[in-house]
Structure 1
Amino acid sequence: MSVNQVNRVLLVVAAAALLVACGKKEEAASGAASMPVVKIGHVGPVSGAIAHLGKDNEYGARMAIDELNAAGVTIDGKQVKLELMAEDDGADPKQGTAVAQKLADAKVVGVIGHLNSGTTIPASKIYSDAGIPQISPSATNPKYTRQGYKTTFRVVADDVHLGSTLGKYAVGTLKAKNVAVIDDRTAYGQGVAEEFTKAAEAAGAKIVAKEFTTDKATDFNAILTSIKGKKPDVVFFGGMDAVGGPMLKQMKSLGITAKFMGGDGICTAELLKLAGDAIGSEQVFCAEAGGVEGEGKAGMDKFRADFKAKFNVDVQLYSPYVYDATKVMVAAMVKANSSDPAKYLPVLAATADYKGVTGPIAFDEKGDIKNGALTLFTYKGGKREQLAVIR
Structure 2
Amino acid sequence: MRQNFVRVLGGVAMAALLVGGATACKQDEGSGTGSGSQACDLKIGFFGALSGADAGLVTPMKQGVDLAVEQYNKANADCQVTVAPFDSQGKADLAGGLATSAAADTKIVGMVGPAFSGESEVALPIFEQATLPSITPSATRPSLSTKGWKVFHRGVGNDFSQGPAIANYIKSVIKAEKVFVIDDQSAYGAGLADEAKKVLGPLVVKTDKVVDNAQEFGAQISSVKTSGATVLFYAGYTEEAAPFLKQLRANGWTGTFIGGDGINDANMLSVTGQKDVEGTISTCPCGPATAAKGTFVTDFKAKFNGVDPGVYADVSYDLANIYLEAIKAGKTTRADIQAFLGTYNKAGAASGVTYKWEANGELDPAQVKVWAFKATNGAWAPDLEIPKG
TM-score greater than 0.5 by the shorter chain: yes
Q: Does 1:105 align with 2:104?
A: yes
1:129 shift after superposition = 0.7
- Aligned residue number for residue 387 of structure 1: 383
**Cα-to-partner distance string for 1:170-221 (whole Å, 9 max, x where unaligned):** 11221112111111111111111111111111xxx43222111123211112
**Aligned partners of 1:359, 1:292: CA distance in 2, in Å?**
11
- Aligned residue number for residue 92 of structure 1: 91
1:363 is aligned, of 357, 363, 370, to 357
TM-score, structure 1 normalization: 0.83
1:105 shift after superposition = 0.7
Contact 1:47–1:88 at 8 Å: present in 2 too? yes
- Aligned residue number for residue 289 of structure 1: 285
Q: Does 1:39 align with 2:43?
A: yes
1:245 shift after superposition = 1.7
**Aligned partners of 1:329, 1:308: CA distance in 2, in Å?**
23
Alignment of 1:1-391 (within 5 A): 36-72=40-76, 80-107=79-106, 108-201=108-201, 205-279=202-276, 281-282=278-279, 284-291=280-287, 297=291, 299=293, 302-312=295-305, 313-335=307-329, 337-360=330-353, 361-370=355-364, 371-390=367-386
- Unaligned 5+ runs, structure 1: 1-34, 74-78
**Aligned partners of 1:381, 1:324: CA distance in 2, in Å?**
29
RMSD (Å), alpha carbons: 2.2
Contact 1:137–1:318 at 8 Å: present in 2 too? yes
Bigger-Rg structure (1/2)? 1
**Aligned partners of 2:384, 2:154: CA distance in 1, in Å?**
22
Percent sequence identity over aligned pairs:
29
Residues 128/207 of structure 1: CA separation in 2 closer, same or farther (3 Å cut): same
Q: Secondary structure at the match of 1:322?
A: helix
- Greater per-residue helix proportion: 1
**Cα-to-partner distance string for 1:305-331 (whole Å, 9 max, x where unaligned):** 322221224323322221111111222
**Aligned partners of 1:154, 1:330: CA distance in 2, in Å?**
17
Higher alpha-carbon deviation: 358-367 or 183-192? 358-367
Report the AA paired with residue 121 of structure 1. Answer: E
Report the AA paired with residue 81 of structure 1. Answer: Q
Contact 1:292–1:389 at 8 Å: present in 2 too? no
1:91 shift after superposition = 1.2
Report the AA paired with residue 95 of structure 2. Answer: G
Contact 1:45–1:88 at 8 Å: present in 2 too? yes
Contact 2:109–2:337 at 8 Å: present in 1 too? no
**Aligned partners of 1:86, 1:178: CA distance in 2, in Å?**
43
TM-score, structure 2 normalization: 0.83
Alignment length, in residue pairs? 345
**Aligned partners of 2:142, 2:118: CA distance in 1, in Å?**
12
1:54 shift after superposition = 3.1
Q: Secondary structure at the match of 1:80?
A: coil
Residues 118/297 of structure 1: CA separation in 2 closer, same or farther (3 Å cut): same
Residues 383/239 of structure 1: CA separation in 2 closer, same or farther (3 Å cut): same
Q: Secondary structure at the match of 1:115?
A: coil
Contact 1:184–1:215 at 8 Å: present in 2 too? yes
Q: Secondary structure at the match of 2:264?
A: coil
**Larger RCO (CA within 8 A; separation ≥ 6):** 2
**Cα-to-partner distance string for 1:34-87 (whole Å, 9 max, x where unaligned):** x831122111112221123333222221111111111128xxxxx632121111
Residues 123/236 of structure 1: CA separation in 2 closer, same or farther (3 Å cut): same
Contact 1:328–1:354 at 8 Å: present in 2 too? no
Higher alpha-carbon deviation: 114-123 or 377-386? 377-386
Report the AA paired with residue 362 of structure 1. Answer: K
Higher alpha-carbon deviation: 326-335 or 371-380? 326-335
**Aligned partners of 1:56, 1:71: CA distance in 2, in Å?**
23
Higher alpha-carbon deviation: 265-274 or 115-124? 265-274
Contact 1:279–1:379 at 8 Å: present in 2 too? no
1:298 shift after superposition = 5.6
**Aligned partners of 2:218, 2:53: CA distance in 1, in Å?**
20
**Aligned partners of 2:248, 2:139: CA distance in 1, in Å?**
28
Report the AA paired with residue 291 of structure 2. Answer: K
1:270 shift after superposition = 3.0
- Aligned residue number for residue 4 of structure 1: none
Report the AA paired with residue 247 of structure 1. Answer: F
Higher alpha-carbon deviation: 126-135 or 366-375? 366-375
Q: Secondary structure at the match of 1:180?
A: strand
Q: Secondary structure at the match of 2:160?
A: helix
